[in-house]
Amino acid sequence: MNAHPPLTIRDLRVRAAHVPLRIPLQTSSGTIHIAPLALIDLLTDEGVTGSTYLFCYTPLVLKPVVQLLNELLPVVKGDAVAPLELDRKLRARFRLLGVKGVVGMALAGIDMAAWDALSKAQGLPLARALGGELRRIPAYNSCGLGMIGAERAAAEAQQLAAPGFPAIKVRLGYADPATDLAVVRAVRRAIGDGVHLMSDYNQALSVADASARIQALDGEGLYWVEEPTSADDHAGHAQIRSRTRSRIQMGENWWGPHEMAVCVAAGASDFGMPDAMKIGGVTGWLRAAAIGETAGLPLSSHLFPEISSHLLAVTPTAHWLEYVDWADPVLQEPLRVEAGHVTPPDVPGSGIRWNEDGIKRCLVP
């Protein structure tokens, strides 16, 4: 007898929220003051609800994502909560248009909510529903350290490392390359040698400029240099790798496992960093994890720490969890960090439960 009867999709409830960032993040492409989140609830006939959120980067994209999710309800209503089949069906529906951008975001939202509902119905944390265990994952603090200059960056770095994080990340790409070096050195002096320092250029540089700047930083002990040039320039990243000693990190802009496979084949990166949304939700992540294992590529997460803690727990080459607290104001129980590590919560699903009072303060009409 089946102890867990199939779930059937009854409704999608999607809400838009502008969640203020505790520490605004200034990058080479602009300053982020709020997290534009699409809050998704997948309701079933059986009374189980799967929940997740999407980070939409800019308020300009939040409304279209919410609208598309609402338009997709008639497409999935009455379907079984079977994530692999939902993924197949929805990707087939958008085959001619493609599944990047807003479409990819919406499909990933449905996938993550479906997996949350499925694991809740089994009474298992998502990691266990996927066949894994609740493993401790090292986390690095990515909540700040934007492009704020050497003096402010040094003070903020101490603040980010203070709770016991074994690593933090600094954003680079100043107009003057000497400032990149000055910031890295100021941060290193502030945190000491016992904390790893990652860096991120947010795709700001040309291949030639990136090669020169990273060569100047090669002796500074950076753990990795993230996306120094355009994320889709795999050949360019491979050139940068060949010209510098620092390790290159890519992956947050892989729109699905196929793009990851192309990047890996090009030898573009020393590490991988899938984004739970862009890679295709839980289903896409599992496929990406298989590629990472085959290639021997250490995989870290990008944003979405709540669900990423579960996904890294079932990733053979799990590396680092990127910790941000951007969704905390709308969550009942934000993800806990203990001694610089996270462990997926031992509750059914991904652990995402809404703080309705917090949501009320952030809702977009």
Helix (H) or strand (E) holding 226: strand 225-226
The answer on 333 and 246 residing in a single domain is yes
Q: What pTM value is reported for the model?
A: 0.96
The answer on 209 and 308 residing in a single domain is yes
- pLDDT tens readout for residues 264-295: 999 999 999 999 999 999 999 999 999 999 99
* Radius of gyration of the chain from its Cα atoms, rounded to whole angstroms: 20
* pLDDT on residue 3: 62
The answer on 196 and 55 residing in a single domain is no
> Last residue of some domain: 124, 143, 167?
124
SS (H, E, C) 17-51: EEEEEEEEEEECCEEEEEEEEEEEEEEECCCCEEE
Is the pLDDT reported for residue 39 higher than 80?
yes
User: What is d(CA 145, CA 335) in angstroms, rounded to the nearest whole number?
Assistant: 21
**For residue 15, which of 38, 35, 48, 47 has the smallest C-alpha distance?**
38
Residue 311 lies in a domain: yes
Structure tokens belonging to residue 263: 């990047």
* pLDDT on residue 25: 87
- pLDDT tens readout for residues 91-136: 999 999 999 999 999 999 999 999 999 999 999 999 999 999 999 9
Q: Cα–chain-centroid distance for residue 187?
A: 24
The answer on 208 and 106 residing in a single domain is no
Once rounded to an integer, what is the mean pLDDT over residues 198-209?
A: 97
Contact 251, 275 (CB under 8 A): yes
Sheet holding 49-55, edge to edge: 9-27, 30-44, 49-55
Contact 169, 303 (CB under 8 A): no
Name residue 194's beta-bridge partners. none
Of 21-25, 53-57, 59-63, 212-216, the one with minimum mean pLDDT is 21-25
pLDDT band at 1 (very low <50, low <70, confident <90, very high): very low
Domain that holds residue 289: 128-357
pLDDT band at 2 (very low <50, low <70, confident <90, very high): very low
The answer on 167 and 305 residing in a single domain is yes
